[in-house]
Amino acid sequence: MAAETPFEPARYLTRVSGSDYLEVKWRLVWLRDRHPDASIDTELISHRDNTAVFRARVTLPNGGVATGWGSENAGDFRDYLEKAETKALGRALAALGFGTQFCPDFEFGAAAGRVVDAPVKASRAARGSGAERKEAAVAAIGPDQPATERQLRYLQAVAREAGLDAAALDERAMQEFGVEAQALSRRDASSLIDLIQSGARIAS
């Protein structure tokens, strides 16, 4: 009997603003093809004011593990709960290499292209390298404007996952940016989210 043909992700790419994108459903097929025993766990971390924050964790049999976060609200999608879960799962899969070379890491915020998960036309802020996309997104929303309530809720959820209570989050914000979390700008709130998730610190 002939061996079963391995899943070929390149056959399932979708074009988004001239770039190749692999939908999360195909990343899942790819994962199961390579690692049938991989485990997937998703959890609704926060659901307030019509905004949902999900965490997804994917664990491979060989010990590889990745966590992804996703948030959406009712103003962006009617089925925002499902969209937030899909975003979190897609990011966890991308971190393990399932989709990384095909899908841009669309930036948090309304200025970025929204691909959760049927591809749509992405804005110019979502094109280019990761650094270029982030700079464009920040420029579009105004780097020195106050962080939005949605962004702060997401920051708080990320902090809780990292074991930081409100006081510890304020202390971290003071250490990095000289203000408490609620007073962060959009740019600094985005940077602090990245720092907490990566466990890194800004060099002094």
Of the two residues 203 and 49, the one the predictor is more confident about is 49
Residue 19 and residue 75 in one domain: yes
Token pair listed for 32: 């199961």
Beta-bridge mates of residue 53: 46, 71
Token pair listed for 132: 């270029």
Residue 76 in any domain: the answer is: yes
Residue 147 and residue 121 in one domain: no
Residue 171 and residue 93 in one domain: no
**Which CATH number fits the domain that encloses residue 64?**
3.30.160
Distance CA 125, CA 129 (A): 10
Q: Give the pLDDT confidence of 58-99 residue by residue, as tens digits.
A: 999 988 899 999 999 898 888 899 999 999 999 899 888 887
Residue 71 and residue 119 in one domain: yes
Residue 20 and residue 111 in one domain: yes
Choose the final residue of a domain: 126, 160, 183.
126
Residue 26 and residue 119 in one domain: yes
Q: Give the pLDDT confidence of 137-182 residue by residue, as tens digits.
A: 444 444 467 888 877 888 888 888 888 999 999 999 999 889 999 9
Number of domains in the chain: 2
pLDDT at 182: 92
Cβ 119 vs Cβ 94: under 8 Å: no
Residue 28 in any domain: the answer is: yes
Q: Give the pLDDT confidence of 88-117 residue by residue, as tens digits.
A: 999 899 888 887 665 544 333 333 445 555
Choose the final residue of a domain: 99, 126, 153.
126
Signed CA dihedral, 24, 28, 34, 37: sign only: positive
Residue 75 and residue 119 in one domain: yes
Residue 114 and residue 160 in one domain: no
Residue 73 in any domain: the answer is: yes
Choose the final residue of a domain: 97, 126, 155.
126
Q: Which domain holds residue 88?
A: 11-126
Residue 36 and residue 119 in one domain: yes
pLDDT-derived band at 2 (thresholds 50, 70, 90) equals very low
pLDDT at 144: 62
pLDDT at 149: 81
